A and B are shown apart, each in its own frame.
Chain A
């Protein structure tokens, strides 16, 4: 006995020696958190590795199983065929998959292991997919969607039977999405097949690691090991500040004025990532930089989600090789890809979140021990406050949490069909398995039965449709009814939905990328626009393809993509409030705060700068009517819901028409009559009583539900987007989700998917929970109602937002300039 134990220790030491040598051959030394992760893996544990971007999480996860394998295989048995599937590596981004494959391949070949490492995503050629159906590689790097696809083929249990480790990479990114739920479901299945399976999540910049662990490990979360890197990455946040700050800032006004300083910043660094918040901003900045520095043509690139995949990959490759001095990009470059040459990040506009700023900053100095540098460029003066707030929050490590999605029945419906396609399932056992996940821990038997009926009889038990064909039960086992259903289902596995995309091509067929359909509908033949950094002309639109030609004329609108405008996060909003609180007491302890001093002074003169416990409400009478400005500082989504709620509650006392405008700091209600404030005085306005009912009554919940149903219908397999980029086939079972929503509402009002869509509207579009919390906070606050003589610096940007939705942008600029002139004058007087 003793002898064997000794031998094990020997081989373990030997294996560890080989790994240490591998590290030192690259001039590295394993970090403590990496060694901890290997030990925990060796002890059979699962868990979560939480470390900033770029400190070596990949190696922390990968070397555990490598060490274990080395320790149990001597030199002789290390030859021969690659062993069957051992490690499954799940990543949210296809673009990351090949990076991970390359990194792991290098390790495997350096250590002389006979392992095969391969990628399986939607981009994998069919021939390789077929081969993988027979045998999977030793290490498979894949996405949640492709993993589910693998589960949908018979024999999955056998293929995944020898699995030792699943790595959920960028878990913070998957968490909070339905894709995360997909991973949870797949993990539960794999654990059922392989009791000793170890699961490790990799996560950066996250405020609630406990919840992340629960979502990852389900009911086994208590035994999960949390490993944190102590090598905290130092992040330097600086800002470019305008020399003259205008007293009346409005969105998008500043931006390009700071171009000269941005150019200096780019010139001073080796390689810079320039992040913007929207794709249209990306195009604008790319154009502006090249116009100012034509000599940078060829060394400056553009990267956003609408560009053609090959174009994006080229840019990524050039970045890696250090061939670029800068890339203007959006969140498309937020994630993991390792661009070692990048030594500086510029953030244009507010990052809107602390974790997001850290994540982006982490793109620079992507090497252990190197600092990350980010320069923030405000697009309006008030964003300087956000920069100061974000820096303070980073120092205090106050990161945003991410809440996992709970109980999405559309994902469950899809998963049941996926399993039925594979080896089938037994309903009783599967129910128990589902309850081990975090997402479905509270799934009731009634809900489960409803979903099961929905995919097997088409309706609830009592109203089953005999003609319905999807899942059939045979000897207690659920399998899929026919080949057509199987093919259609496999084609549509996944939870990502996007607007219908129009492909943009040159007349010669060269592909440039794609944009949302709604942008195109505003253009007509002969119109010019800017895309992919090029001036283009609309030639013709056919079958979802927009044909364009180059256009010499230098002007054209820049496409306004819909791409979700991020609201200010709760944490950053709180940090902004405390910056203002300090300012209200005369403390300006950051250069950014000093830069906006004149604005804050103006705010204080006409109204007040809200302190920690203040709820500032400003009243204004103008030729336009009666305005009420409320400043909760909770982000524009919450303000939208709040605006509708307040308008609803105010107008209950007396018939009143109110128009609503919002930004991230506050909201404005405007009426042609005096707004009665009794509801504010008696506290009913901000009460959380009847909140749910009032919200639904105050907004067009039916219409919003219909929009939300699009995603649900797609995930639950009610509508089919078909192949991306290809026109929809005129199929007999093609119906819009809006039509289905109406039919369900009318003929099957108890449908749980319809109920889910109302819930998702509340949770996602209105951030219901946050709304609830902010109402509670506001009700506790000291209400500071101030009658103002003129729109204050805080109120002015909201007024401009409202104007924006009414008049065209060109006239708007004109109008705003005039208004500003007027205001500046009276501020001096």
Chain B
């Protein structure tokens, strides 16, 4: 949380966190999109030897945010889990103590495509409320971006990123927040998730996550975006 960016949206203060999450100051609500917990384990169960440690690291990162920000509610913006696991016991051993530690916090889940496939909700998270969309103040939360809605949409699903080139042939693909006129996209929280390169429109404001800082992409830089 070295360098966050406070973005005002519909008169609300949204803190964009370099941990690839969003904190809604007024409601003390932490919003996390696409963590895909258990993804590496699924790979291993199906014969692809992905090393251990991604889920544990993601949980630790989430805990750090919870400890510093002291949210009242935690909202998962879909794809909380990656898919059905064969061995749920090992998984539960990781999640349950974590949930006990934050037992007073209300957990909400806007369900995503992966959640539906994994036969949600995973009991260990003890999710308090599940829905496909949730209204809250001026916002509507959903996993996939909604087409048009009276409220401002906050969504995940896409794992947005921008590809940039710099001097000296430097190339980087960086996860980003993208705030458009109708709604915003959040980056994927999970450490073992891929990116989808988006092409922002001129009216969009784009905030990139570069290591431990969130920076706004100046409008001029967008001209130089990799197509």
Segment from B81-89, B93-101, B209-217 that makes contact with A: B81-89
Given known contacts A484-B46, A747-B54, A732 and B82 CB-to-CB distance under 8 angstroms: yes
Given known contacts A467-B86, A467-B87, A739-B194, A733 and B48 CB-to-CB distance under 8 angstroms: yes
Q: Which residues of A contact B131 (CB under 8 A)?
A: none
Interface residue ranges of B83-137 to A (CB < 8 Å): 83, 86-87, 90, 114, 117
* A465 B42 Cβ-Cβ under 8 A: no
Given known contacts A467-B87, A735-B194, A739-B193, A747 and B53 CB-to-CB distance under 8 angstroms: yes
Given known contacts A743-B51, A747-B54, A732 and B45 CB-to-CB distance under 8 angstroms: no
Q: Which of B48, B54, B87 contacts A717 (CB 8 A)?
A: B48
In the assembled complex, A24 has its CB within 8 A of some CB on chain B: no
* B171 A703 Cβ-Cβ under 8 A: yes
In the assembled complex, A284 has its CB within 8 A of some CB on chain B: no
Chain B residue with Cβ nearest A471: B47
Given known contacts A467-B90, A468-B44, A733-B43, A747 and B49 CB-to-CB distance under 8 angstroms: no
Q: Which residues of B contact A109 (CB under 8 A)?
A: none
Given known contacts A468-B44, A735-B43, A740 and B50 CB-to-CB distance under 8 angstroms: yes
Give 16 pairs: A residue, B residue, CB < 8 Å, sorted on A.
A463-B52, A467-B45, A467-B90, A469-B47, A470-B49, A485-B46, A732-B42, A732-B117, A733-B46, A735-B192, A739-B192, A743-B51, A743-B54, A747-B51, A748-B51, A751-B51
* B48 A747 Cβ-Cβ under 8 A: no
CA distance A26 to B85 in the complex (A): 68
Q: Which 6 A-B pairs have the closest CB atoms?
A: A458-B49, A470-B47, A747-B51, A748-B51, A732-B83, A747-B53
* B49 A454 Cβ-Cβ under 8 A: yes
Q: Which residues of A contact B194 (CB under 8 A)?
A: 735-736, 738-739
Instruction: Digitize A465-500: 1 where CB-to-B-CB distance is under 8 Å, 0 elsewhere.
Output: 111111000000000010011001000000000000
In the assembled complex, A225 has its CB within 8 A of some CB on chain B: no
In the assembled complex, A521 has its CB within 8 A of some CB on chain B: yes
A-B contacts besides A485-B47, A747-B53, A747-B54, 20 pairs, CB < 8 Å = A454-B49, A458-B44, A458-B49, A459-B52, A465-B52, A467-B45, A467-B86, A468-B44, A469-B44, A469-B45, A484-B46, A700-B170, A703-B171, A732-B83, A732-B114, A733-B43, A733-B46, A743-B54, A743-B191, A746-B53
Q: Which residues of A contact B193 (CB under 8 A)?
A: 739
Residues of B within 8 A of A (CB): 40-54, 82-83, 86-87, 90, 114, 117, 168, 170-171, 191-194, 227
CA distance A703 to B45 in the complex (A): 29
Instruction: Digitize A623-667: 1 where CB-to-B-CB distance is under 8 Å, 0 elsewhere.
Output: 000000000000000000000000000000000010100000000
Given known contacts A467-B87, A521-B227, A743 and B192 CB-to-CB distance under 8 angstroms: yes
CA distance A176 to B46 in the complex (A): 33
Instruction: Digitize A670-702: 1 where CB-to-B-CB distance is under 8 Å, 0 elsewhere.
Output: 000000000000000000000000000000100
* A468 B51 Cβ-Cβ under 8 A: no
Instruction: Digitize A519-558: 1 where CB-to-B-CB distance is under 8 Å, 0 elsewhere.
Output: 0011000000000000000000000000000000000000
Q: Which residues of A contact B48 (CB under 8 A)?
A: 717-718, 733
CA distance A740 to B193 in the complex (A): 9
Q: Which residues of A contact B43 (CB under 8 A)?
A: 733, 735
* B51 A469 Cβ-Cβ under 8 A: no
CA distance A659 to B170 in the complex (A): 12
CA distance A717 to B43 in the complex (A): 12
In the assembled complex, A23 has its CB within 8 A of some CB on chain B: no
Q: Which of B49, B117, B227 has the most CB of A within 10 A?
A: B49
Q: Report the count of interface residues on A (CB-CB < 8 A).
A: 36
CA distance A746 to B117 in the complex (A): 29
Given known contacts A522-B227, A732-B42, A481 and B49 CB-to-CB distance under 8 angstroms: no
Instruction: Digitize A276-302: 1 where CB-to-B-CB distance is under 8 Å, 0 elsewhere.
Output: 000000000000000000000000000
Q: Which residues of B contact A484 (CB under 8 A)?
A: 46
Q: Which residues of A contact B40 (CB under 8 A)?
A: 743
Q: Which residues of B contact A732 (CB under 8 A)?
A: 42, 82-83, 114, 117
CA distance A738 to B54 in the complex (A): 15
CA distance A481 to B191 in the complex (A): 28
Q: Which residues of B contact A744 (CB under 8 A)?
A: 51
Q: Which of A468, A484, A488 has the most CB of B within 10 A?
A: A468
CA distance A700 to B51 in the complex (A): 25
Distance from A458 Cβ to chain B, minimum over Cβ atoms (Å) = 4
Chain B residue with Cβ nearest A749: B51
Q: Which of A459, A481, A746, A751 contacts B47 (CB 8 A)?
A: A481
Chain A residue with Cβ nearest B40: A743
* A468 B227 Cβ-Cβ under 8 A: no
Q: Which residues of B contact A659 (CB under 8 A)?
A: 168
* A465 B44 Cβ-Cβ under 8 A: yes
Q: Which residues of B contact A469 (CB under 8 A)?
A: 44-47
Interface residue ranges of A428-482 to B (CB < 8 Å): 454-455, 458-459, 463, 465-470, 481
Q: Which residues of B contact A717 (CB under 8 A)?
A: 47-48
Distance from A232 Cβ to chain B, minimum over Cβ atoms (Å) = 47
Given known contacts A739-B192, A739-B194, A743-B192, A468 and B54 CB-to-CB distance under 8 angstroms: no
Distance from B43 Cβ to chain A, minimum over Cβ atoms (Å) = 5
Q: Which residues of B contact A466 (CB under 8 A)?
A: 87
Chain B residue with Cβ nearest A738: B194
* A468 B87 Cβ-Cβ under 8 A: no
Chain A residue with Cβ nearest B191: A743
* A459 B46 Cβ-Cβ under 8 A: no
* B44 A467 Cβ-Cβ under 8 A: yes
CA distance A751 to B168 in the complex (A): 30
Distance from A414 Cβ to chain B, minimum over Cβ atoms (Å) = 12
CA distance A463 to B227 in the complex (A): 42
Chain B residue with Cβ nearest A739: B194
Given known contacts A739-B194, A743-B40, A468 and B83 CB-to-CB distance under 8 angstroms: no
Distance from A736 Cβ to chain B, minimum over Cβ atoms (Å) = 5
Distance from A44 Cβ to chain B, minimum over Cβ atoms (Å) = 42
Distance from B80 Cβ to chain A, minimum over Cβ atoms (Å) = 14
* A459 B45 Cβ-Cβ under 8 A: no
Instruction: Digitize A706-737: 1 where CB-to-B-CB distance is under 8 Å, 0 elsewhere.
Output: 00000000000110000000000000110110
* A733 B42 Cβ-Cβ under 8 A: yes
